[in-house]
Chains A and B, each alone.
Chain A
Amino acid sequence: MDPSRVLLIETRGPHSGPGCAAFLADGAALAAHGSSVRVLLLGDAVTGAVANAVPEIASLIRAGAEVAVDDISIDRRGMSHARLFPGVTRTSLEKTAAEIVDSDVKVVWH
């Protein structure tokens, strides 16, 4: 059986409580168990991609997950030149739209 494809969309920042880190830890666990995991950090969640603000992002990347930040969310917060955690890329919600509709991809918006 093909490993499942999962798209996790995190919208909460690390300063809003433990939910962000817990959600990303779930993603790392899925990736570690063979799922193909992509994470989109959207809205306040982009603040977690700077430096090592959320250690679970390192766990995600180590487990083979792809982690990206939404470019508009970054720009709206004046973080255009922020140094992102190594391995985190910039993308857009628009580029992610096709994946959200893909019937083979399980999507969770948090």
Chain B
Amino acid sequence: MRKSLPQTDLLLTLMGAPHADDTLTDTLRLVQALLDSGTRVSVWACGYATLLTQRALGECKPRNPASWDTEYPSTAAIIATMLAAHPEHLYWYGCRFCSDDRGADDHLAEVVMRPPARYAENVAAAGKTLVIGVM
């Protein structure tokens, strides 16, 4: 029997190239604000946003020549930290098709990859859905 999805208050469907603008930063700011207020949040990463949770990204970004001793966490590390801090309130899903299409096949263990045909189930498991970005 298939395991049912956890109910959340809000599903954020995150699309688009993660580093093209402020979308990812603003989305993560929003997720953190929602979590701080006790809101249960699920994120469905689609398109290039599926690249955010690859384990190959490691803990830190490559060194910044302008600030050699500063460590900047990778998106995978940030998301992993948020998931660990809010295990009952934050869930992260990835579109398997979009991920496979981009050769990203090794994600954080906490990230659940799902086929696009199951997206409607994620929508049904959330009180509200907000689409962010364009694929």
Query: Which A residues form the contact surface with B (CB < 8 A)?
Result: 11, 42-44, 70, 72-73, 93-94, 97-98, 100-101, 103, 107, 109
- Chain B residues with Cβ under 8 A from A43's Cβ? 21-23, 26
**Shortest beta-carbon distance from B12 to chain A in Å:** 9
**Shortest beta-carbon distance from B20 to chain A in Å:** 11
Cα–Cα, bound, A44→B23 (Å): 10
- Chain B residues with Cβ under 8 A from A72's Cβ? 29
| Cβ B22 vs Cβ A100 within 8 A | no
| Cβ B10 vs Cβ A100 within 8 A | yes
| Cβ A93 vs Cβ B9 within 8 A | no
- Chain A residues with Cβ under 8 A from B30's Cβ? 93, 97, 100
**Shortest beta-carbon distance from A22 to chain B in Å:** 15
- Chain A residues with Cβ under 8 A from B33's Cβ? 93-94, 97
Cα–Cα, bound, A100→B33 (Å): 11
Closest A residue to B13 using CB positions: A109
| Cβ B130 vs Cβ A107 within 8 A | yes
| Cβ B39 vs Cβ A97 within 8 A | yes
- Chain A residues with Cβ under 8 A from B37's Cβ? 97-98
| Cβ A109 vs Cβ B21 within 8 A | no
Cα–Cα, bound, A80→B134 (Å): 29
| A42 contact from B22, B34, B36, B127, Cβ within 8 A | B22
| B127 contact from A103, A107, A109, Cβ within 8 A | A103
Cα–Cα, bound, A94→B37 (Å): 9
The 10 closest A-B pairs by CB, nearest first: A43-B22, A94-B33, A97-B33, A109-B132, A97-B34, A93-B29, A101-B10, A101-B9, A107-B130, A101-B39
Cα–Cα, bound, A72→B22 (Å): 11
B128: Cβ under 8 A from any A Cβ? yes
Q: From known contacts A93-B29, A93-B30, infer whether A100 and B23 are also in contact, taking CB-CB under 8 Å.
A: no
- Chain B residues with Cβ under 8 A from A109's Cβ? 130-133
**Shortest beta-carbon distance from B10 to chain A in Å:** 5
Cα–Cα, bound, A73→B30 (Å): 13
B residues 95-135 with Cβ under 8 Å of A? 127-128, 130-133
**Shortest beta-carbon distance from B8 to chain A in Å:** 10
- Chain B residues with Cβ under 8 A from A94's Cβ? 29, 33, 36
| B23 contact from A11, A93, A97, A107, Cβ within 8 A | A11
Closest B residue to A72 using CB positions: B29
